[in-house]
Amino acid sequence: MSRTTGLRLALLFAAGVVISGVAFRHGIQPNDEGLMLQAATRIADGQVPYRDFWWFYPPGQPYLLAGLQEIFGSSLVPWRVLRVLCDAGVGVLAYLLAARYAPPRLALAAWAVAVLAMATPSGPHPFPPTMVLCLGALLLVPRHLVWAGVLCGVAAAWRLEFGAGLGLAVVLGLALARTRDDDAPPRLREIARFALPAVGAGLLLYLPVVVAAGLSPSWELLVRYPLLEFGDYQRLPFPWSYDGPLNTSSPGGFVSDTLENLLLFYVPAVLVAGLAVCLVSLGLRWRRVGATELATALFAVVMLQYLLARADEFHTAPLAVMVAILGAWTVARADRRLLAVAAAGVLVYVGVVGLDRRVRAVTAPTTPIASPVADGVRAGRAHDEGLNATLRFLRTRTEPGEPIYVATRRSDLVTAGHPLLYVLAERPNPTPYDIQAPGVVTSAPVQREIVEDLRRENVRYIVRFDDPITAAPEPNRAGESTGVTILDDELARAYAPIRRYGPFVVYERRTLGA
């Protein structure tokens, strides 16, 4: 790498850090942020996922966050720094991949779209470090297949479907690139050089956790539940028809709120159309496509599946990054001018939406959070009503280490929760269920278990997060009542509401030890 190239990449990384990090202390995510940080806290305390608490994500991210917590203490800041670095890293890697087959200006456009797509919305989700690993692996194909395999295996410990999809994409890319010109079999040695390190690295990271947790619970939560049940509760209809303002925007962007809602609504459709354009372009020049291009295109299809699993704003970034790379290639190499124009249009559309969302994230009003764990992080106005008053109540009325329980509006229908309250209040959850997962906490066996835990620990205070979002109507199984109200019945019998702070209702046990 020349000094000029190194300087260019350093500047792009620094610019990515600024774009992603300019508002890194703004806003919280009560559900997703709470889940990851609660899992990290439990692991730091010696608990094992799948065995000691209910968890159906791969172990990489919570163990990484637990390590950060051991180093820096309980805080909302370290994961945000990690996220900013990952966003900037994805941008640089997208630039390098795009620059393989596109001129610097188009590679720069891919970088901009990738960074803006990654930056908003933020969160401690496992996909940003996974995207760094996956893009790094694609860059190493086909010259450094062993290291590409290692990165692929590590990625699987953060997002299992990303790692598995990348592995399949690279294997098919190597095989198809070697066989499309003749009838010779694929070079199995090259495939083995990639696949064996990938499998080995994945097993090395999974094995200690699976052994500690047990094979049966690990299989149940890592494989069976995500594959057979989770989709029924999370999948949303694909957003084809916009029917008015969605009320998801905040003031301060450079387009009107209604237009911002309209543009944001159609991002998934535009990304799908952009991917289709890029795949058609690739098909038209099939004889000139190498292993890296094939693997990248196939991995983009995996990211499409990730989007289709729940087509909302939290699932668009990975596909946007891949479309940015493929789009740059299409503009540079398309055999049909119309395809190049269409790909350019997709890049502009996604870039404009990303830029507007960054502006809104910076200018949105915020308020300080009354918790030392916040470390200067400020809540958006949508989340601050009653939060600080609830935190002050819990800190004055409970002892450090005393458990509380955070319930939702209903126990028979749950679509979100507020596990971040445990983290901010620095009070443990006496049950294994931080995730308010529909079909789990809404079931009779789990509610009975929660009630038994509350009784056993003599939990004095329960906070009910009474926001409508916790029981929002969704067109899937999550939006259907199970009819199970065991937990609600226990709250009515054993607890009395004593305070309301905005959407938070504090309940106190009527008779200690009842």
Residues 317-349: tens digit of each pLDDT: 999 999 999 999 999 998 889 999 999 999 999
Q: Are 154 and 199 in contact (CB under 8 A)?
A: no
- Do residues 413 and 298 both lie within one domain? no
Instruction: Say whether 465 sits in a helix, a strand or coil.
Output: strand
Q: Where does a domain end: 363, 394, 416?
A: 363
Please say whether the beta carbons of 328 and 298 come within 8 A. Answer: no
Statement to judge: residues 346 and 273 lie in one domain: yes
Confidence of residue 513 (pLDDT cuts 50, 70, 90): very low
**In this predicted model, which residue has the larger pLDDT, 98 or 435?**
98
- In this structure, are residues 86 and 64 in contact, taking their beta carbons and an 8 Å threshold? no
Task: Give CA 70 to chain center in angstroms.
Answer: 23
State the residue range of the domain holding 401.
385-509
Question: 221 near 55, Cβ under 8 Å?
Answer: yes
Higher pLDDT, 179 or 267: 267
409 and 276 together in one domain: no
The mean predicted confidence, pLDDT, of the chain is: 92
Question: Do 253 and 349 fall within a single domain?
Answer: yes
For the beta carbon of residue 512, count every other beta carbon within 10 angstroms. 9
Q: Which two tokens stand for residue 261?
A: 């809602």
Return the higher-pLDDT residue of 138 and 259.
138
Closest by alpha carbon to 35, among 478, 409, 383, 420?
A: 420
Looking at the structure, tell me whether residues 391 and 497 fall in a common domain. Answer: yes
- The whole-number average pLDDT for the span 191-213 is 97
Q: Is 377 a domain residue?
A: no
Where do the DSSP E strands lie in 15-140?
none
Domain annotation covers residue 369: no
Indicate if 161 and 267 belong to the same structural domain.
yes
Same domain as 326, residue 451? no
CB 231 within 8 A of CB 310: no
Cα–Cα distance measured from residue 47 to residue 218, given in angstroms and rounded to the nearest whole number? 14
Q: What integer pLDDT is reported at residue 468 of this predicted model? A: 93
Measured CA to CA, the distance from residue 272 to residue 286 in angstroms comes to: 21
Among 331, 363, 395, give the residue marking a domain's end.
363
* Cis peptide leading into residue 142 (ω within 30°): yes
Domains contained in the chain, number: 2
Q: pLDDT tens digits for 213-232?
A: 999 999 999 999 888 888 88
Which token pair is 10? 């350093």
CB 292 within 8 A of CB 101: no
Q: Quick one: 510 exposed, middle or buried, by C-beta within 10 A (0-12, 13-18, 19+)?
A: exposed
* Domain presence at residue 368: no
127 within a domain of the structure (yes/no): yes
Higher-confidence residue of 258 and 210: namely 210
Q: Residues 50-80: pLDDT tens digits?
A: 999 999 999 999 999 999 999 999 999 999 9
Confidence of residue 255 (pLDDT cuts 50, 70, 90): low
Q: Cβ–Cβ contacts within 10 Å for residue 395, how many?
A: 17
Is residue 332 domain-shared with residue 417, that is, in the same domain? no
